[in-house]
Structure 1
């Protein structure tokens, strides 16, 4: 039987999910909505279509905000390019005027999946890698997080108990011992784990917490499209004899799973015990007892060194 969230666990709390358009960001926003939070959903892809992301995708922040509201929270879409300091400063000013405070900030901006390339592009040495593409990976995956924290953390530390979540790929321990796809991707994902550590050091005197969270093999919209399946029939990608997913995809997780990890942390009055740590969604599922939307507790990191 599927685990059901406490619909009022985060009622009255204000969260910002930076990079909420799709993937983990949408899943996190949705799970915070399940727990009753007000969720400000930011990103570049909007229903007006005048500020698209690096992806040619149909998802929008308005859709994410609508999902938050349908699940019991209050979703608010605000178009923001997190590479533009002036836009993030304007976002902070608007939040200060309309809400006064942030309880949870999720740094999930990425946007470099296309630049990362597919398996045929991986392990390309730095001297052969497209330099402009590599530097944009770092700007999208790291600079955006720095700009967002600079402008929004003052709204989180004005009261005790704030939570900052840095979303990455791979724990600090795993990434320390494994080369990840390319120099640029590797550096971006290691850096985001370190951001949780360093910002946790700076937030601690303000009774605030920073945690890095990595999902496992994520069934994002892009991943499902890649295998020609949907969330409802994703296991069809595992059928033998086709060009679908490898066996490891069986332990993949929906974006809501990492979202429930964030919501569980936010609802934990003793969350400071996690400060500066780097954890997986699966580890937090074991700790807090939540499940994915199908009632499972997948852990795609379990069999990796």
Structure 2
């Protein structure tokens, strides 16, 4: 019997994380689903880690819910200890957890919005670093693994203010720099960042319903939350993955590369076409 691929998807109670976890489950993965929501009412939006884990199992995988606040290093360490004790390895880490607040899309300048928006730098950039730091030694020792950061085009243009932009730009650069270290260590572990499109999450659908004049155009560009998970699975199984190590890729373009479509056979558009933006190209200079 083929061993299940072992994946951790952080921030998977709802939204992109939930969709990615379910998609990986449909490919037979064991998916550790992390987040803080254990019961309805823990968050303004619906969704819990247990519901996601059950959906992963229904999809054909094995979903395991682990309550974890990614702003607490002790809880994150316990998560990785649990996975390694149970499974002996981690094949895929999806860094998706982020402190996202409704006030991000409020009108006004950054100093007119709540200071808590800076939390995205802690639970977003720092939390992704810590999770990757914990996953990397085992991956490097086994010469196998994929670390993914879920990003978006706000890394390269203004979107909802500097906290959001710093988060997206920061994780794109983190993927690049981690790849430099993996290559220097002579391991085949890969790190990359994926620009997801506008996702049909409860949060975005509510925003569209509340202000269709402002956000209605997104209906024609929207991706299902599962779409990125299928792209990640294709990347993980790509024998040429090393060529993409350290890159920031656009999920819609990777789908074309791998012959993937979204729900209903749709081919989501690329930011390169809709927004006329593309990921930054990093210089090859290395200073140690």
Q: Do both proteins adopt the same fold according to a TM-score greater than 0.5, normalized to the shorter chain?
A: yes
The answer on whether the counterparts of 2:100 and 2:117 sit within 8 Å (CA) in structure 1 is no
Q: 1:198 to 1:25 in 2, by over 3 A?
A: same
SS in structure 1 of the partner of residue 37 of structure 2? coil
The answer on whether the counterparts of 1:168 and 1:213 sit within 8 Å (CA) in structure 2 is yes
From 153, 166, 173, the counterpart of 1:194 = 173
Alignment of 1:303 with 2:284, yes or no, is no
Find the counterpart in structure 2 of residue 112 from structure 1: 100
Q: How many residues align?
A: 273
Instruction: Describe how 1:271-290 pairs up with structure 2 within 5 A.
Output: 271-290=241-260
Find the counterpart in structure 2 of residue 225 from structure 1: 206
* CA drift at 1:135: 2.3
From 112, 115, 119, the counterpart of 1:136 = 119
The answer on whether the counterparts of 1:217 and 1:300 sit within 8 Å (CA) in structure 2 is no
1:136-162: CA deviation from partner (whole Å, max 9, x where unpaired): 121122121122112222232221221
> Which structure 1 segments of 5+ residues have no match?
1-7, 230-236
Find the counterpart in structure 2 of residue 234 from structure 1: none
Query: Structure 2 length as normaliser, TM-score?
Result: 0.87
SS in structure 1 of the partner of residue 254 of structure 2? helix
Q: Tell which deviates more after alignment, 148-157 or 99-108.
A: 148-157
The answer on whether the counterparts of 2:158 and 2:165 sit within 8 Å (CA) in structure 1 is yes
From 183, 188, 192, the counterpart of 2:162 = 183
Higher share in helix: 2
Query: Structure 1 length as normaliser, TM-score?
Result: 0.83
* CA drift at 1:257: 1.1
> Which structure 2 segments of 5+ residues have no match?
277-288
Distance of 2:192 and 2:130 partners within structure 1: 18
Find the counterpart in structure 2 of residue 56 from structure 1: 44
Q: 1:284 to 1:46 in 2, by over 3 A?
A: same
Alignment of 1:24 with 2:12, yes or no, is no
* CA drift at 1:300: 5.0
Structure with the greater relative contact order (CA < 8 A, sep ≥ 6): 1 or 2? 1
The answer on whether the counterparts of 1:11 and 1:36 sit within 8 Å (CA) in structure 2 is no
Alignment of 1:251 with 2:221, yes or no, is yes
Find the counterpart in structure 2 of residue 77 from structure 1: 65
Q: 1:175 to 1:228 in 2, by over 3 A?
A: closer
1:54-100: CA deviation from partner (whole Å, max 9, x where unpaired): x4222001111111111111111111111100001111111111001
